């Protein structure tokens, strides 16, 4: 039987938000890919894929926010919370994705090209910046720098 000290329990904490936060990044990246496919082919199927990917990313993003708030209430996961800039970028990404979803709600070519495609590209770039900011904090935690 193993006896864990408080320090061992804190090290074993796992934030719940880590389960949900990656999904919007994947969905929004794939939405950019399907927007590019629609731009190149004009096939409406790609527009529908983009709309559904944006919706799925927004729903998983909402679950990520709820899980993040739960993690803030848990004392063991407070040291593992994301940096301030990363959490603000995440909220900006979700707000832009909501605007992009509203742009994609239209019919035809103008629902995606040019504004939907541009919003998807901006969201993708912000996802890359957010991942870099988050990775820097977790690398410092892992190396205890």
The pLDDT of residue 47 is above 60: yes
Instruction: Give 32's pLDDT tier (boundaries 50, 70, 90).
Output: very high
Q: Do residues 57 and 24 lie in contact, with contact meaning Cβ atoms separated by under 8 Å?
A: yes
14 has a pLDDT exceeding 60: yes
Report the C-alpha gap between 12 and 4 in whole angstroms. Answer: 10
pLDDT at 15: 86
Please write the tens of the pLDDT for every residue from 90-137: 999 999 999 999 999 988 888 898 999 999 999 999 999 999 998 877
| pLDDT-derived band at 81, boundaries 50, 70, 90 | confident
Name 97's Cβ contacts closer than 8 Å, sequence gap at least 6: 24, 28, 54, 57, 58, 61, 123
Between residues 83 and 40, the one the model is more confident about: 40
How many Cα atoms sit within 13 Å of 118 on the Cβ side? Answer: 6
Residue carrying the six token digits 């796992």: 14
């Amino acid at each position: 039987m193993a006896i864990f000290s408080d320090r061992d329990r804190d090290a074993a904490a796992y934030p719940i938000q880590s389960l949900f936060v990656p999904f919007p990044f994947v969905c929004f990246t794939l939405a950019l890919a399907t927007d590019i496919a629609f731009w190149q082919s004009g096939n409406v199927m790609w527009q529908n894929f983009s709309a559904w990917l944006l919706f799925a990313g927004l729903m998983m993003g909402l679950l990520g926010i709820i899980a993040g708030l739960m993690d803030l209430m848990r004392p063991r996961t407070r040291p593992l919370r994301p940096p301030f800039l990363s959490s603000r970028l995440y909220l900006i990404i979700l707000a832009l994705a909501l605007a992009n979803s509203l742009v994609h709600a239209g019919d035809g070519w103008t629902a995606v090209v040019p504004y939907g495609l541009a919003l998807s590209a901006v969201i993708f770039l912000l996802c890359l910046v957010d991942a870099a900011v988050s990775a820097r904090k977790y690398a410092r935690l892992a190396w205890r720098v």
